[in-house]
Amino acid sequence: MKYEPTLPGPVFAAHYHLPGEPTGPYTYGRDENPTWSRLELAIGELEAPGRDDVETLAFASGMAAISALLFSRLRSGDTVVLPDDGYQALSLLREQLQVYGVEVRTAPTGGDAQLDALDGARLLWIESPSNPGLDVCDIRRLVEAAHARGALVAVDNTLATPLGQRPLELGADFSVASGTKQLTGHGDILLGYVTGRVRRGDDRRTSVAEDRRGDPRPDGGLAGAPFARHAPAPGRPAGRHRPGRRRSAAGPAGGDRAAPSRAARRPLHEVAARQMRRFGCVVSFTLPTRARAERFLEALRLVDDATSFGGVRSTAERRGRWGGDAVPEGFIRLSVGAEDPEDLVADVLRALEESAP
Ligand SMILES: *Cc1c(COP(=O)(O)O)cnc(C)c1O
């Protein structure tokens, strides 16, 4: 609109002018905020461009989004199928779900192994590519099998981002992600979101936010602070993939594969190439020992030894230091930043050489 700011500032209101009946878009800050609305609209356009039958809800973190979806869609007696190689905090939720009487089955992401666990399931949870192993599964195939059995499908899209993969176009009911990583790109904000279809038929459990009571966020107070909604707004270029990123990711770790660390990964690469437009900024590989991996990390100059991924600065870490991931001691997860690709490749090759025994 003419004379309106191109990037509106954050709205910090806890409550709004509200005479008469308490209705309308903005009533109380825990429920709705214009700054969240704009962010949710922008994410929705990335996840499902041109569709008006989807809705996005922003959350205080990726885990808040994941928890809200799992605990609002599942009831005692339901069965959920989780990946056994997904983000490590999923296993914490697994215990919680079991306490609430939800049956949890797990299977690996690779080889579409979750297919065999679907009978009688209420919800299938996919993480493709998985973190940190970068395994992929055929999302469309799993969605078809799950829907044929009446199960809903949620895809954790954190590793791919909506620029790399659009789960709703592949048939999934929900795309869920941590915006803490590549979506915001600066490593300075915790954020999560769920994008899903609005009401389908009368099944209220397929909708993200079909009515106030069905919206898991506001009453649970999971939404987070307005400023965190404002900062990642479009127009703050950060985690955007530069053309150079692909080259640099391809250099040290071996070609254009999504997950170059294991030799027998060609079929996975084909699945990834079919359903993804970009492979993202994370590469992972295994060095022979923990000591070698630690020397490698220490020898790097352009790459910080830090956790998380998707920032404009390159980072890497020995993932095994956290426990919880089924990875070898020398397993490295490296996030490619926006540095000059040639500098980055040179730094990684030098560190590999210097850390060799
Ligand atoms: C980081 C991450 C999460 C959790 O997100 P937070 O914003 O840290 O809560 C969930 N899934 C994947 C794949 C992640 O990498």
Strand pairing of 54-59 and 174-178? Answer: unpaired
d(CA 184, CA 218): 22
User: Cα dist. 270→44, 112, 342 in Å?
Assistant: 27, 13, 27
Residue with the larger pLDDT of the pair 254 and 353: 353
Candidates 109, 181, 319: which one to mutate for ligand 1, based on the most atoms within 8 Å of Cβ?
181
Rounded distance from Cα 191 to ligand 1 centre (Å): 9
Rounded distance from Cα 12 to ligand 1 centre (Å): 26
- The per-residue pLDDT for range 213-271, each reduced to its tens digit, is 345 554 455 666 666 666 555 444 444 444 444 443 333 333 333 344 444 567 889 99
Separation of CA 28 from chain center: 29
Q: Whose CA is nearest to atom 11 of ligand 1?
A: 87
Rounded distance from Cα 62 to ligand 1 centre (Å): 5
Rounded distance from Cα 280 to ligand 1 centre (Å): 15
3-state secondary structure 140-173: HHHHHHHHHCCCEEEEECCCCHHHHCCCCCCCCC
Region label for 187, one of left (φ > 0), alpha (ψ between -120 and 50) or beta (otherwise): left
Confidence of residue 324 (pLDDT cuts 50, 70, 90): confident
- The per-residue pLDDT for range 184-209, each reduced to its tens digit, is 888 889 999 999 987 544 344 444 44
Residues with CB under 6 A from ligand 1: 61-63, 87, 127, 131, 156, 158-159, 178, 180-181, 190, 192
Rounded distance from Cα 58 to ligand 1 centre (Å): 14
Do residues 63 and 92 lie in contact, with contact meaning Cβ atoms separated by under 8 Å?
Answer: no
- The DSSP call for residue 331 is E
Helix (H) or strand (E) holding 41: helix 34-47
3-state class (DSSP) for residue 119: coil
State the average pLDDT over residues 277-303: 97
d(CA 215, CA 228): 20
Residue with the larger pLDDT of the pair 248 and 284: 284
Q: Whose CA is nearest to atom 6 of ligand 1?
A: 62
By the 10 Å C-beta count (0-12 exposed, 13-18 middle, 19+ buried), 171 is classed as: middle
